[in-house]
Chain A
Amino acid sequence: MSWKKALIPLACVPLIILLAYGFRTDPKAIPSPLVEKAAPGFRIAIYDGDDLFLAGLKGKPVVLNFWASWCYPACYEEAPLLEATWRKYKEQGLMMVGVDIQDKEANAREFMGRFGFTFPNGPDPGSKISIDYGVYGVPETFFIDRQGRITYKHVGGLTAELMEEQVRAILKER
């Protein structure tokens, strides 16, 4: 009869494993299927500039950031880091592109002026680029290597350490 008694705790084992898996998983962390894949091509009309094509940046590592002026505070906290990273690494060939989503142009310009953005930024009418990159919130940042492959996606505001680490990684790859 002892094996029958052992059945009760044994039956709990799969349940515990399932719960352990469930509790260790962050339901908000949704892995992007685009990581390690070719970055979807796009064309963006840069504010006060020409159209920019991702295909035209081939051979350059790219930091692609999705932001909006209404995204407070995360985008406001992250903006100075974007500009500083761009200034620090542009001579080494880094490209930074900002995609302004679901925004009003006047508000977007005010935002860019406030943080002195000098890297190219443009709107995303119809959220075409955002949907093509599987964006579900702002800010989100994609790191694209010289081969045009997405190496990393970050959801939420970037920290200086993470930015440095990811930029160095895409700059290093040849």
Chain B
Amino acid sequence: MGLHRRRPGRPGGTATRRRGRWALALLACLSLLMPLTILAEAPSPPKAEAGSSSPDMDDRVRDVASELRCVVCQNLSVADSPSDLAKEMRNLIRELLQQGKSREEIKAYFVSRYGEFVLLEPPKRGFNLLVWGLPFAALLVGAGGVYLVAKRWTERGHQAAPPLDPAYAERVRRELKEREGPSGS
């Protein structure tokens, strides 16, 4: 019962109609502006290409394409790039999947053509291991350094004061006595 229907012949109907016309005009203006706002938006991820078979196939294409670098873009995957070449690559991935090729076989095909550069994630072997291992190695070395410094600081805090030179102690005692002597009397 939350819906309110306009009753025909109701007093004040002209005013409502006028408001309705204004709302319609406003809507028309907004709809005219819509294409402009769509144009101004950032390019959205590419939709499924023509000839796509099923949502499942679209997902599989996207899955493989998201691991491949768009070779004509800066840091974009084949799945996310709006470029023509990436679109053709997605079509090719679809064709290869339909031929029954596995994800690894398709990736291997692209690597055989473009080199490992085409993989967004470098494989964990050889020189590439540096990329994967260095941050952890740096973290370990840093943690070790912090531990050593902290250990040194705490040890320094617990150290007993060095023994006082007896001659110096005697002099301090004497001078204190001399100072206290006249004021104390």
Contacts and interface: CB of A to CB of B under 8 A. Distances in A.
Interface in B93-118: 111-115, 117
Interface residues of A, number: 18
B92 A33 contact: no
A131 B88 contact: yes
B72 interface: yes
Q: How large is the interface on B (under 10, 10 to 19, 20 to 34, 35 or more residues)?
A: 10 to 19
B142 to A, nearest CB: 12
Contact of A33 (B88, B89, B115): B115
A102 B84 CA distance: 8
B85 A130 contact: yes
Interface string B123-139: 00000001000000000
Contact of B114 (A18, A40, A126, A136): A136
Contacts of A102: 84-85, 88
Given A102-B84, A126-B92, A127-B85, A30 B113 contact: no
Contact of A30 (B88, B115, B130): B115
A18 B134 CA distance: 12
Q: Majority SS of interface residues in chain B? A: helix
Nearest to A33: B115
A126 B88 CA distance: 6
B91 A126 contact: yes
A137 B72 contact: yes
A33 B91 CA distance: 23
Nearest to B83: A102
Interface in B32-50: none
Given A126-B91, A126-B92, A131-B92, A136 B115 contact: no
Contacts of A128: 88, 92
B115 A134 contact: yes
Interface in A113-141: 126-128, 130-134, 136-137
A31 interface: yes
Contacts of A131: 85, 88-89, 92, 113
A136 B92 contact: no
Contacts of A32: 115
A27 to B, nearest CB: 10
A54 interface: no
B61 to A, nearest CB: 15
A31 B111 CA distance: 12
Contacts of A132: 113
A34 interface: yes
B111 A127 contact: no
Nearest to A134: B113
Nearest to B92: A131
28 contacts: A30-B114, A30-B115, A31-B115, A32-B115, A33-B111, A33-B112, A34-B112, A34-B113, A102-B85, A102-B88, A126-B88, A126-B91, A127-B84, A127-B88, A127-B89, A128-B88, A128-B92, A130-B85, A130-B88, A131-B85, A131-B92, A133-B113, A134-B113, A134-B115, A136-B71, A136-B85, A136-B114, A137-B72
